[in-house]
Amino acid sequence: MNEVVKNNKFHITTFGCQMNLADSSTLVATLLTRGYQRVYEEKEADLIIFNTCSVREKAEERVFGRLWEVYKYKKEKPDLKIAVVGCMAQRLGEKLIEKVPHVDFVLGTDRLFELPEVARGNNGYHPVMTAFGHENMDAIKPVRENDFSGFVTISRGCDNYCTYCIVPYVRGRERAHSADSIVENVQRLADEGVVEIMLLGQNVNSYRWHDTDFPELLERVAAETDIRRIRYMTSHPKDLSNRLVDVMADNEKIMPHVHLPLQSGADRILERMGRKYTIEHYNKIVDYIRSRLDYVAVTTDLIVGFPSETEAEYEATLRAVSDIQFDSAFMFRYSVRPGTIAAEYDDDVPEADKIRRLNKLIDLQQKISFERNQRELGRVCYSLVEGFSRRSEEFSRARTEGNKIVLFKNGGAAPGTVVPVKITGADAFTLHGEIVEEVRC
Ligand code: SF4
């Protein structure tokens, strides 16, 4: 039975990546089972939680802004507690309370699930906890994100130390969940009615539990569970094997979408980023993916203006983007993250050049995304209905196999159902379609 806790209303805001969303879902479930009650208005809460991101300076600035915004509630209600958890808590530790003294608890990436005890003021718990090596991997149980999809974390942390990235410092070394526990967790979610799961790790391709590697784990999840649709995120080009692609090709449950961060099209910059692959290697993987899968969406991440990037090297990125023809991309201009290896480099590309390079890259990718989406016209996409279109309840919003959003006239399709949608229109960001008769079982 759930415990009953006084002053038990909590509000949570999540910043950053899917890993943080997954952690927040688990934290919410942990709080609910410990007698807390979730509220959706900060002013109603007794405990306000920010699960934070340190990947970019802007993300941290937003959290600082929000922390000062909620100070007004603390002045009205002195018992209100404010907790900062996750990557920013890990990176800043005590310094966070020095900067924002009205913060009560700071729990790093290995410690955030201890928040119920810390917030209750249990003896033995300190309000600032950032030491690694305290998490109990088996105790971290995934929960549903909504009634029909869920995240299952397969590994935490990262060993790659890409020179621009703060993740290995704030999330620690890579450690895997056991293959059996992952299969069990997926089945548990399937039993609860979840249709689609996302297997999550900073680098899923380096997953290893005893003799089980990632392709084998995917095979097991597909074969041993009743889940209908499987996705995974994120891949690293140095570790993505042809065998993984073969497993995808042989298994309809695994959705044909590969998110494969390229970061730069210039080998010298890739080396300086510590990425450990060349553009030639990257191209070979994409060629193999496209040769083995009849339909696949390939998406990526790109950074422009990395220290010492010349115009010619930037042009190499534009060329790579034109050649590879990604379905979509997350594109950023480089910004220094203190504590990373690249923070020691001279950040010598002027801000104006970074902005110009980024804008041109975005223009190019938008044209390519538009063209890639035109190729979808006439296809029937089996799409998982997520709800209504943001603009109008006349239209439903669904996610295609290739992870694209499709809008179609709402014919009563319930969220959580998978419906065949024929694509009748497309822009760079969204597909449009209509429900058709089932064309395969
Ligand atoms: S693979 Fe590189 S970019 Fe990705 S989390 Fe690890 S260090 Fe960061």
Q: Answer yes or no: is 277 within a domain.
A: no
Which atom number of ligand 1 is nearest to the Cα of residue 275? 2
Distances (CA, A) of 195 to 93, 119, 147, 229, 332: 38, 34, 9, 6, 32
Give the pLDDT confidence score for residue 134 in this predicted structure.
61
Give the pLDDT confidence score for residue 130 in this predicted structure.
79
**162 and 247 co-located in one domain:** yes
Q: Answer yes or no: is 80 within a domain.
A: yes
What is the Å distance from ligand 1's center to 68 Cα? 31
Q: Answer yes or no: is 266 within a domain.
A: no
Which atom number of ligand 1 is nearest to the Cα of residue 158? 6
**30 and 121 co-located in one domain:** yes
DSSP single-letter state for residue 327: S
Task: Give me 114's structure tokens.
Answer: 């201890």
Task: Give me 427's structure tokens.
Answer: 């822009």
Task: Give me 122's structure tokens.
Answer: 């249990």
Q: Answer yes or no: is 353 within a domain.
A: yes
Mean of the per-residue pLDDT values for the chain?
92
Which atom number of ligand 1 is nearest to the Cα of residue 159? 6
- Signed CA dihedral, 293, 299, 305, 311: sign only: positive
Residues framing ligand 1 (Cβ under 6 A)? 158, 160-162, 165, 167-168, 202-203, 236
Most ligand 1 atoms within 8 A of CB, residue of 20, 166, 170, 236 to mutate: 236
CATH code at 90? 3.40.50.12160
**90 and 191 co-located in one domain:** no
Q: Answer yes or no: is 274 within a domain.
A: no
Residue among 110, 200, 112, 194 nearest 151 (CA): 200
What is the Å distance from ligand 1's center to 71 Cα? 34
CA distance 235 to 155: 12
| Phi/psi of residue 299, nearest 5 degrees | -125, 165
**86 and 21 co-located in one domain:** yes
What is the Å distance from ligand 1's center to 14 Cα? 20
Contact 259, 234 (CB under 8 A): yes
**188 and 243 co-located in one domain:** yes
Q: Answer yes or no: is 273 within a domain.
A: no
Residue nearest atom 4 in ligand 1 by C-alpha distance? 202
Q: Which residues contact residue 428 at a Cβ distance below 8 angstroms, ignoring those fewer than 6 apart?
A: 366, 367, 369, 370, 373
Give the pLDDT confidence score for residue 389 in this predicted structure.
87
CA distance 86 to 103: 14
**23 and 112 co-located in one domain:** yes
Q: Answer yes or no: is 182 within a domain.
A: yes
Lowest-pLDDT choice from 170-174, 181-185, 245-249: 170-174
Position 34 confidence tier, pLDDT thresholds 50, 70, 90: confident
What is the Å distance from ligand 1's center to 58 Cα? 18
**341 and 398 co-located in one domain:** no
Contact 71, 91 (CB under 8 A): no
Task: Give me 104's structure tokens.
Answer: 């009560």
What is the Å distance from ligand 1's center to 437 Cα? 43
Q: H or E element: which one contains 396?
A: strand 395-399
Task: Give me 264's structure tokens.
Answer: 């730069």
Position 410 confidence tier, pLDDT thresholds 50, 70, 90: confident
- Cβ-in-10-Å burial (0-12, 13-18, 19+) of 24 comes to buried
Mean pLDDT of 137-163: 84
Most ligand 1 atoms within 8 A of CB, residue of 54, 156, 158 to mutate: 158
Task: Give me 258's structure tokens.
Answer: 């590969």
N-terminal to C-terminal alpha carbon distance within the chain: 42
Strand, coil or helix: 196: strand
Counting residues of the chain whose pLDDT is more than 90, the rounded percentage is 80
Cβ–Cβ contacts within 10 Å for residue 193, how many? Answer: 11
**106 and 70 co-located in one domain:** yes
Task: Give the domain-ending residue among 230, 255, 280.
Answer: 255
Residue among 174, 166, 202, 173 nearest 340 (CA): 166
Which atom number of ligand 1 is nearest to the Cα of residue 274? 2
Identity of the amino acid at 87:
C
What is the Å distance from ligand 1's center to 87 Cα? 14
Residue among 83, 142, 154 nearest 112 (CA): 83
Mean pLDDT of 148-154: 92
Position 108 confidence tier, pLDDT thresholds 50, 70, 90: very high
Which atom number of ligand 1 is nearest to the Cα of residue 171? 5
What is the Å distance from ligand 1's center to 311 Cα? 25
Which atom number of ligand 1 is nearest to the Cα of residue 234? 4
328 is in which domain, residue-wise? 288-375
What is the Å distance from ligand 1's center to 162 Cα? 5
What is the Å distance from ligand 1's center to 8 Cα? 37
Residue among 287, 298, 300, 296 nearest 256 (CA): 296
**79 and 160 co-located in one domain:** no
Which atom number of ligand 1 is nearest to the Cα of residue 263? 3
Cβ–Cβ contacts within 10 Å for residue 36, how many? Answer: 25
CATH code at 301? 3.30.750.200
What is the Å distance from ligand 1's center to 160 Cα? 6
Lowest-pLDDT choice from 196-210, 212-226, 270-284, 400-414: 400-414
**192 and 301 co-located in one domain:** no
Residue with tokens 């891949």: 235
Strand, coil or helix: 275: coil
Lowest-pLDDT choice from 82-86, 135-139, 270-274, 402-406: 135-139
Strand, coil or helix: 166: coil
- Signed CA dihedral, 180, 182, 188, 194: sign only: negative
- What is the total count of domains within the chain? 4
* Radius of gyration of the chain from its Cα atoms, rounded to whole angstroms: 22
- Cβ-in-10-Å burial (0-12, 13-18, 19+) of 162 comes to buried
**117 and 205 co-located in one domain:** no
Residue nearest atom 2 in ligand 1 by C-alpha distance? 162
Which atom number of ligand 1 is nearest to the Cα of residue 202? 5
Task: Give the domain-ending residue among 129, 160, 185.
Answer: 129
| Farthest CA pair distance, the chain | 64
Is the pLDDT reported for residue 367 higher than 70? yes
> Which residue(s) pair with 231 in the sheet?
198
Cβ–Cβ contacts within 10 Å for residue 362, how many? Answer: 14
Give the pLDDT confidence score for residue 139 in this predicted structure.
65
Task: Give me 66's structure tokens.
Answer: 């929000």
Is the pLDDT reported for residue 441 higher than 50? no
**418 and 355 co-located in one domain:** no
Residue nearest atom 1 in ligand 1 by C-alpha distance? 160
CATH code at 219? 3.30.750.210
Q: Answer yes or no: is 271 within a domain.
A: no
177 vs 411, residue with greater confidence: 177
Task: Give the domain-ending residue among 90, 107, 129.
Answer: 129
What is the Å distance from ligand 1's center to 431 Cα? 31
Residue nearest atom 8 in ligand 1 by C-alpha distance? 165
